[in-house]
Structures are given as C-alpha cells and as structure tokens.
Structure 1
C-alpha cells in the first residue's frame, strides 16, 4: 500500500490552453501498469471551465465542493453539486467547470488507452458557457 500525503502533493495552475479562468490541479497521478487509471483533484474558481475535450474510455468526476456546469456536445448544460458523481461517456466531446458565481472542486478519474487519457480541443466560448442550464 502506498499513501500519497496531501502535504507532499504539488498544485499547478491549469494550463491556459486547456482552461478558461483560474483552475488548479493537485495530486496528479498515474497508476502503474497493468492499471490504466489516471487522476487528479481539480479546483475551479467561479467562471472557470475546461476547454472542450474527450476521454477515450470516459471519465468519472466526484464533486467534493461547490456547484458546477457540464455539457456533452449537442446536449443540454447540466448543473451539479457537491456530493454528485458525473459519468462522462467514452470518446464524447464535453466540458465542465464552475458556475459564474460559485467555485467547484472535483476528483477526476479516467483511464488511458494507448497512452492517451484525454484529447483537448477548442475553448468553450463565453456564449456557450453563459447560456447555462435550461430553467424550468
């Protein structure tokens, strides 16, 4: 058993080419083969979000704090909250991040296929993001 201590984890800024706004990534890890699992804790300040991206084998997001939005291409923007688990489908373009007024933190888990766990694409436009979830 190996324990990764919080005090020893590094935190880096989310790269500007893949994130809009302030996001930080903590404790990024990759399990040894034969496992394909990779993960990290990602914190989004209000208004921050990922670019469009996809994962070859999908992604699981465990929301630990705050409120966020997510969208799969051609689908509605969905709101989620601390305690929710998001199951992002395999190889589908999507984005996720905080709402404009509240930050959000999630644990991101995904598997690599052929050495790749994510394919990044263009940024989510302000217009796409600010459309927000549909209101009943």
Structure 2
C-alpha cells in the first residue's frame, strides 16, 4: 500500500501536468481565436461595419493571456523540473518577445503635429500677409 507521501506526490505531478497541458492548449488554440475574433469585430470582416472600440477588450485579454500563459508555464515547468515543458514554454515566450514589440510599434504611433492655422492670423509689430 503506497504511503501518503507517494499519493500526494503522484497527485501533485498529475495536477502539474494537467495545468501545463491546459495552458498549452489555451495558448495554441484559444488565444489565436481571440485575436481572430477581435480582428473580425474591429474590421467588420463579413459582419457588417467594424467596431474597433468593441474589439479593444478582446485584444487586451488575448494579449495578457498570450504573454502570461508562457511566463507562468516557464516558471511552473522549471520549478517542477519538466524539461520538455520548459523548452515548449520558453519557445512560446521567445515568440511573444518578438511579436509583442512589433505589434506594439504598429498600433502605437506618435501623436500628429498640431494643425496649421487655416485662417489669416494677424501679427503685431510687423507686416502681415493677410489680405
């Protein structure tokens, strides 16, 4: 009859494996589907007019999950000494480290310069080009 420590260790190993496997499925399937749903909502592809404001929350959640799951996966797999999962989540984290800055640069532009005056502006103390 196995001791309590052995049963606890087996239960912990099964829970760790399940957590890592579910995280991989969510990262590989659910997160890309969330980005796709956000794109369909934002650009209205086949769904009528687009609504970028409505897609913002979907993109935000997908981004947090896309970066958080590999980060947590690396920590859990490394602390439980699962080398295969550590490599998997490490590669996922490297992909995030490359894609995230590129995507951020595409979506965050510098503010436009202030507009030029469209009407005649009188200047004091000198000539004016106003008619």
| TM-score category, normalised to shorter length | under 0.3
| Structure number, greater radius of gyration | 2
TM-score by length of 2: 0.22
More strand by share: 1
TM-score by length of 1: 0.21
More helix by share: 2
Higher relative contact order (CA 8 A, sep 6+): 1
